[in-house]
């Protein structure tokens, strides 16, 4: 079965075609990051308007690139939430209109379910059940994933998401938006051990996280050195920050694996692209028998492939083919993954 995936929850328009037999056939992505950079963050109205411009040309591009016609598609999967309401409405209305016109089923996908399942796009892929560390710009959660649609929240951030902390600290270091990757690049020049920042909730007896205090500690350190902040000092602070965040993410992930006694860890979401996080997890899990899975770098951040995949897996799970779209739809700007 051939599923067209549409992702428009934030500032990336992602389109993909996934076949339940042949797997990912093709995908295309347009990032609005250059447009939002001047504002230091995503401007929701600009994001919605841009998605309107991009969705159909990207669909045409993916169909052409895969040599598949719209008539051959069996179902449409689109991100129903969570995300920016106007941006979600774009994908929802185009997805439903296409499904209505073709009289094929439409699948409403949870954006975080897409992230959680994204390592299944790679080879080797994890088997259910596994622990998932979901680290994006908006979320930081540890999940026990038992199967498609069976997600148990083990812990989450009580304030800022890890990606948000990366972006805010990057901004304080004078880096462009979104700064997570730029901060990580700067940190590669840092001297280990020159500064040490706190590891919030490292020893709390739960699987929750907190990053807003760490961001404040980084802000104080940056201010203290402001007058003579050489590139080296900024790099040293970036490294101290990255080290603190990744230490907490690693320790809590390992605790989650111990508690659940699961042997597989999946890391998903934009911060999952962070090399230091990847290296530390590989290092700490070496020789334990636990295997860690990362999505391909291009599927860590928002994309259409993970939405098409989630739609295809959902479709396969159904006993009978769902009815075609009746043309009506809703979006869910806020949506708890456990409510699926
Ligand atoms: O999953 P994603 O594309 O969007 C959301 O659904 O939020 O994640 C974006 C986040 C941003 O905060 C970005 O700065 C962060 O992921 N990010 C990184 C890296 N690459 C992206 N953070 C740290 N290191 C990276 N290499
Ligand atoms: Zn995302």
Nearest ligand atom owner, CA of 136: 1
Predicted pLDDT at 152: 96
Q: What is the pLDDT of residues 79-121, one digit of tens each?
A: 999 999 999 999 999 999 999 999 999 999 999 999 999 999 9
pLDDT in tens, 114-145: 999 999 999 999 999 999 999 999 999 999 99
CA distance 45 to 58: 20
Report pLDDT for 193.
96
pLDDT-derived band of residue 294, with 50, 70 and 90 as boundaries? very high
Distance of alpha carbon 329 from alpha carbon 315, whole angstroms: 18
Is there an atom of ligand 1 within 6 Å of 270 CB? yes
C-beta of 305 in contact with ligand 1 (< 6 A): no
Ligand number nearest to the C-alpha of 163: 1
Give residue 326's pLDDT: 86
Question: 85 burial class (0-12, 13-18, 19+ CB within 10 angstroms)?
Answer: middle
* Position 164 confidence tier, pLDDT thresholds 50, 70, 90: very high
Whole-number average pLDDT of the chain: 96
Q: What is the CATH number of domain 127-294?
A: 3.30.420.40
Work out the pLDDT band at 319, boundaries 50, 70, 90: confident
Strands 264-268 and 150-156: unpaired
Ligand 1 within 6 A of 178 CB?
yes
Q: What is the pLDDT of residue 324?
A: 86
Q: Ligand 1 test: best mutation among 271, 275, 276, 295, most atoms within 8 Å of CB?
A: 271
Residue 323 has pLDDT above 90, yes or no: no
Structure tokens at 105: 């089923």
Is residue 167 part of an annotated ligand binding site? yes
Give me 252's structure tokens: 């809590």
> pTM score, two decimals?
0.95
| 318/266 Cα distance (integer angstroms) | 25
243 known ligand binder: no
Residue among 29, 110, 132, 137 to mutate when testing ligand 1 (max atoms within 8 A of CB): 137
For residue 301, give the ligand 1 atom closest to its CA: 3
One of 3.40.50.1100, 3.30.70.1350, 3.30.420.40, 3.50.7.10 is the CATH number of 2-117+300-339, namely 3.30.420.40
* Ligand found nearest the CA of 42: 1
* Identical fold, 2-117+300-339 and 127-294: yes
* Best residue among 270, 276, 277, 278 to mutate for probing ligand 1, ranked by most atoms within 8 Å of CB: 270
Return the pLDDT at 227: 73
Which strands sit side by side in the sheet containing 75-81, from one edge to the other?
A: 23-31, 12-19, 2-7, 75-81, 106-110
Q: Where are the domains of the chain?
A: 2-117+300-339, 127-294
pLDDT band at 190 (very low <50, low <70, confident <90, very high): very high
Name the strands in the sheet holding 264-268, side by side, starting at the edge strand that comes first in the sequence. Answer: 150-156, 140-147, 130-135, 264-268, 291-293
Q: What is the pLDDT of residue 70?
A: 97
Instruction: Write out the E strands in the chain.
Output: 2-7, 12-19, 23-31, 75-81, 106-110, 130-135, 140-147, 150-156, 264-268, 291-293
- How far, in Å, from the CA of 337 to the mean position of ligand 2? 13
Residue 139 Cα to ligand 1 midpoint, Å, equals 10
């Amino acid at each position: 079965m051939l599923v067209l995936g549409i992702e428009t929850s934030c500032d990336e328009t992602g389109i993909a075609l996934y076949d339940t037999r042949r797997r990912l056939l093709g995908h295309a992505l347009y990032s609005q990051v250059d447009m939002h950079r001047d504002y230091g963050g995503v401007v929701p109205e600009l994001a919605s308007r841009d998605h309107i411009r991009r969705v159909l040309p990207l669909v045409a591009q993916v169909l052409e690139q895969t040599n598949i016609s719209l008539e051959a598609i069996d179902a449409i999967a689109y991100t129903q939430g969570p995300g920016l309401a106007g941006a979600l409405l774009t994908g929802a209305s185009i997805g439903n209109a296409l499904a209505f016109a073709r009289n094929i089923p439409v699948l409403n996908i949870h954006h975080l379910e897409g992230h959680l399942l994204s390592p299944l796009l790679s080879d080797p892929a994890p088997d259910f059940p596994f622990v998932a560390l979901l680290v994006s710009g908006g979320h930081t959660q540890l999940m026990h994933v038992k199967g498609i649609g069976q997600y148990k929240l083990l812990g989450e951030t009580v304030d800022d998401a890890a990606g948000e902390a990366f972006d805010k600290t990057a901004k304080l270091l004078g880096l462009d938006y979104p700064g997570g990757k730029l901060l990580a690049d700067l940190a590669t020049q840092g001297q280990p051990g020159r500064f040490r920042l706190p590891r919030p909730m490292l020893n709390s007896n739960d699987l929750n996280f907190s990053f807003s205090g760490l961001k404040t500690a980084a802000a104080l350190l940056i201010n203290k050195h402001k007058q003579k902040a050489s590139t080296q000092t900024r790099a040293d602070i970036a490294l101290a920050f990255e080290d603190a965040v990744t230490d907490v993410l690693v320790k809590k992930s390992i605790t989650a694996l111990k508690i659940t006694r699961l042997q597989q860890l999946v890391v998903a979401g934009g911060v999952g692209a962070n090399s230091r996080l990847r290296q530390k997890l590989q290092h700490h899990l070496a020789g334990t028998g636990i295997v860690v899975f990362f999505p391909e770098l291009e599927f860590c951040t928002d994309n259409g492939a993970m939405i098409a995949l989630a739609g295809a897996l959902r479709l396969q799970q159904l006993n009978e083919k769902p009815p075609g779209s009746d043309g009506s739809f809703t979006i869910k700007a806020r949506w708890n993954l456990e409510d699926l």
